[in-house]
Amino acid sequence: MRIVTRRDFLKGASSLGVAALGGRAIDAIGQQSVLRVGVVHQFPIGEVGWETQHALGWKAMEAAFPGKVKTTVVTDVVQAQDAERVFRDLASQGHKLIFGTTFSQMAPMLKVARAMPGTTFECCAAITTSKNMGAFEARNYEASYLGGVIAGRMTKSNVLGWVGAFPVPQVVWRLNGFLIGARSVNPNVTCNVIWINTWNDPAKEKDAVNALISQGADVLAGSPNTPVQGIAAEERGAWSVGNCSDFSKYVTKRQLTGDILDWNSAYVEAARDVMAGTWKSQSRWRGLGEGGYCRMAPYNAAIPGDVVADVAKREKDIVAGKLKVFAGPLKDRDGKQRVAAGAVLPDNDVRSISWVVDGVKGAFPKS
Amino acid sequence: MTDAIVPVLIATLGAGTPLIFAALGELVTEKSGVLNLGVEGMMLVGAIVAFITTSATASLWLGVAAGCLAGAAMALLFAFATLTMQANQVAAGLALAIFGTGVSAFIGKNYVGVALQSPPASDASFASAIPVVGPLLHALHPLVYLSWLLFAGVSAFLYRSRLGLVLRAVGESPDSAHAIGHPVIRVRYLATLFGGAMAGVAGAYLSLVYAPLWLEGMTAGRGWIALALVVFATWRPARAVFGAYLFGGITISQFFAQGAGIPFASQAMSALPYLATIIVLVLISRNPVMIRQNAPVSLGKPFHATV
């Protein structure tokens, strides 16, 4: 594995292009059976957060096929137009499997995939696929539902707090899952929501958490990639449910649990199928369970045993398909029935969800 | 009622503090006739250097000092380019902002998302005995008090001291100041370094106290807000502080409003602090005579000693 920043990469790809070409030729002859994999990160890989979970994924892939895959990782490809160039370069350098790690890389990847039919592409959070480009996404509302069940049982004020980055479907379905879970055990629960309209302004996250706590929320959750919300909640003596990575190292006392993204099987299976020649373009959308894309962070010791047992049972039911998070009857915040009793919201409607369930308080932007 | 207002007040004071440091620093710089647009970059470098220092030494104040020095070092680059080499200040300032963003991301690569294990606690327990204001004061970080001291210091310096008069003279008419023997370039160097140092402290406050953690570009435009505050406050410290708290206050209030379920588009709410702050400051500062009296006449113009 080699981590290069965008600058290193472009330098290597352009000015040293000839030398690199020579090296590649030898590479190809010498190691016929090695699958070269490219991974493009939008931001640097930190200790926790979105990029980190993807890094765990490709590291698991390297560990699963020792000596058989060689990964080139490019970080800090912030802009979509840069991503296109990086994808193209990776493909032309002989990487046969290329991963995109974020929604905004979907459009450039589709373009490059069309031009490079011999290369397999996989894009996380993409909503479109093509002949040689697959997609993978986490049904993490299943995990946030379980977090909600715990939150609903642990809250004393019956007010939960949610700090959202942007009201995009990925965040909205987690919010809905969280509240559906909480209200399934405690119908009196409401959830105050603050949208901060930014992915990376930790100061604003903290302000929003403090505002929610001052308004009575005693369990905080949301869409942070950082432990900031949990830390801020802990300072004020409130519980938090983490997201993305396990933050218990930072939020040592008052993190109840968290829904963790786990892309290991996405990376491992894609590499396996490409090597075996059985890769097919598909949109993989998985939740909890073996080989799934999300799982729960360790439960806080303060959670009563019967709650943990209840959550474990629900988790089993979800994995077995017996429990559906978006099962009717579901009303939205304005009282309009969205899912009839006995029905389940179809996957396509979940993926484009733009309404919030009954019990959510706070502004919700129309889309 | 006080129960509802106190948290808003505390949060407002916290949110305004980085803007006060950055804006007052820039105000002094601009009063000397130097326009340094690189505040955002200096803040970011201050933030990451402070963060690295504190995570290595577990000392808040060493971190703040390091951030302060790092901001000043960035300003020194700018000062050398514009004051010694006579480069265009606008271009150099923009370059500094971009450079600071990049270099902070580079040195902070291994610190992304790393939280300080135990956020440095504030120590203002003496205040909590006072009723009503007590809990308010207790909740504030020492750096908030420091920002008030800075305000008092900058106001006294600019308008009550001889050195401040020299600095303003340099900003008004460097040629006259030079003619009566004042070291124009040296004054401008010092003012620029001061601005950088304060931007560094503002960054340190964000990464050590406010967040506390490092993220690429975590200042999220606060450096540009500080710049705008200086202009819209017509280069007057009290108005810059007022603007900073107004901006912070509206940011915080819109969170409380959202949390309370007031049905108003959150995107519009997020834009509100920018709009309201600018409108209010423009309205209270729209007297053209006042603007002419307070704006440093030679702002952004290079000085070259002819004699």
Confidence of residue A3 (pLDDT cuts 50, 70, 90): low
The pLDDT of residue A10: 53
A29-38, A144-153, B180-189: segment of lowest average pLDDT: A29-38
pLDDT at B137: 66
Q: What are phi and psi of B298, to 5 degrees?
A: -95, 20
Task: Count Cβ–Cβ pairs < 8 Å, chain A vs chain B.
Answer: 131
Cα of B82 to nearest chain A Cα, Å: 28
* pLDDT band per the 50, 70, 90 thresholds, residue B216: confident
Token digits of residue A15: 């000015």
Name the residue of chain B whose CA is nearest to A48's CA.
Answer: B113
Using an 8 Å CB-CB cutoff, list chain B residues near A235.
Answer: 119
| Subunit contact A211:B255, Cβ cutoff 8 A | yes
Contact A362 B119 (CB under 8 A): no
- Which residue segments constitute the domains of chain B, with CATH numbers given? 2-116+138-294 (1.10.3470)
Closest Cα in chain A, distance from residue B7 (Å): 7
Contact B256 A49 (CB under 8 A): no
Say if residues B13 and B144 touch (Cβ distance below 8 Å): yes
* Chain A residue with minimum CA distance to B17: A203
Kindly state the average pLDDT of the residues B143-159: 95
Question: How far apart are the CA of B46 and the nearest CA of chain A, in angstroms?
Answer: 16
pLDDT one-digit tens code per residue, B19-58: 999 999 999 999 999 999 999 999 999 999 999 999 898 8
Q: Do B115 and A226 touch (CB under 8 A)?
A: yes
A-interface mutation test, from B122, B213, B214, most A Cβ less than 10 A away: B213
Label residue B96 by pLDDT band (50, 70, 90): very high
pLDDT > 70? residue B127:
no
B210 chain-A contacts, CB cut-off 8 A = 202-203, 206
Mutation target to probe the B interface, by most B beta carbons within 10 A, among A78, A214, A360 is A214
Q: How confident is the model at residue B242 (pLDDT cuts 50, 70, 90)?
A: very high
Q: Indicate the DSSP class of residue A156.
A: S
- Which amino acid is present at A76? D
∠B219-B36-B32 over CA atoms, to 5°?
130
What are B102's two structure tokens? 């990049």
Residue type, A294: C
Nearest residue in B to A214, CA atom: B7
**pLDDT the model gives residue A361:** 85
The answer to whether A135 and A284 are in contact (CB under 8 A) is yes
Q: Considering only alpha carbons, which residue of chain B is nearest residue A5?
A: B106
Q: What is the model's pLDDT at position A130?
A: 95
Determine, for residues A201 and B220 on separate chains, whether the beta-carbon distance falls below 8 Å: yes
**Contact across the interface for A211 and B112, Cβ inside 8 Å:** no
Q: Please judge whether B252 and A366 are an interchain contact, meaning their C-beta atoms are less than 8 angstroms apart.
A: no
| pLDDT above 70 for A13 | no
| Test mutation, A53, A195, A234, chain B, max B CBs within 10 A | A195
Parallel, antiparallel or unpaired: strands A330-331 and A283-286: unpaired
Rg value, chain A, Cα: 21
Rg of chain B over Cα atoms, rounded to whole angstroms, equals 20
DSSP B110: G
Least confident of A71-80, A274-283, B185-194, B284-293: B284-293
Under CATH, which number does the domain A2-138+263-286 receive? 3.40.50.2300
Q: Is the Cβ pair B215, A44 closer than 8 Å?
A: no
What is the structure's pLDDT at A16? 42
- State pLDDT tens for residues A234-260: 988 999 999 999 998 889 899 999 999
CB–CB contact B264 A363 (8 Å): yes
Whole-structure pTM value = 0.82
Q: Compute the distance between CA of residue B26 and CA of residue B34 in angstroms, rounded to an integer.
A: 9
Residue A110 Cα to chain centre, angstroms: 20
Question: Chain A residues contacting B, CB < 8 Å?
Answer: 43-49, 52, 76, 161, 167, 192-198, 200-204, 206-208, 210-212, 214-215, 217, 225-228, 231, 235, 250, 361-366
Non-local CB neighbours of B287 within 8 Å, separated by 6+ positions: none
Average pLDDT over residues B119-146: 64
Please check the confidence at residue B252 and state whether its pLDDT lies above 80.
yes
Calculate how close chain B gets to A220, using CA atoms only, in Å: 12
Q: Where in chain A is the domain with CATH 3.40.50.2300?
A: 2-138+263-286, 141-260+326-361
Q: Report whether pLDDT(B140) > 90.
A: no
Q: Could you tell me the two tokens for A194? A: 């603050």
* CA-wise closest residue to B207 among B100, B85, B52: B52
**CB nearest to A231's CB, from B7, B115, B218:** B115
Please answer yes or no on whether A211 and B256 come within 8 Å at the CB atom. yes
Q: Which residues of B12-23 are buried (b: 16+ CB within 10 A; e: fewer)?
A: bbbbbbbbbbbb
Overall fold of domain A141-260+326-361: Rossmann fold (3.40.50)
**Half-sphere exposure in the Cβ direction for A192 (13 Å, CA):** 26
pLDDT for res B202: 97
pLDDT of residue A20 exceeding 60, the answer is no
Over pLDDT 70: what percentage of chain B? 91
Instruction: Test B210 with A366 for CB contact under 8 angstroms.
Output: no
Tell me whether 0.85 is exceeded by the ipTM: no
State mean pLDDT over A306-331.
95
pLDDT value for B133? 64
Residue in A206, A235, A362 nearest the CB of B211: A206
Q: Distance (Å) from the C-alpha of residue B105 to the closest C-alpha of chain A?
A: 9
Closest-CA residue of chain B to A197: B267
Which of A7, A87, A101 lies closest to A49 in space, CA to CA?
Answer: A101
**pLDDT value at residue A277:** 94
User: CB B251 to CB A47 under 8 A?
Assistant: no
Contacts with A8 (C-beta within 8 Å, 6 or more apart), sequence order: none
Q: Is the pLDDT of residue A8 over 80?
A: no
Report the residue of B103, B256, B274 to disrupt the A interface, i.e. the one with the largest count of A CBs within 10 Å.
B256
- Euclidean distance between CA atoms A219 and A295, whole angstroms: 20
- Say whether pLDDT at B82 is over 90: yes
Contact B259 A207 (CB under 8 A): no
* Closest Cα in chain B, distance from residue A37 (Å): 23
Name the band, by pLDDT with cuts 50, 70 and 90, for residue B213. confident
Out of B112, B261, B269, name the one closest to residue A361 (CB): B261
Give every strand in the sheet of A159-164, ordered side by side: A294-296, A255-261, A239-244, A219-222, A159-164, A190-195, A360-361
Residue-wise pLDDT tens digits, A185-232:
999 999 999 998 887 788 889 999 999 999 899 999 998 778 889 988
Say what the pLDDT of residue A17 is: 41
Q: What is the mean pLDDT of residues A336-359?
A: 91
Q: What is the pLDDT of residue A1?
A: 57
Residues of A in contact with B205 (CB under 8 A): none
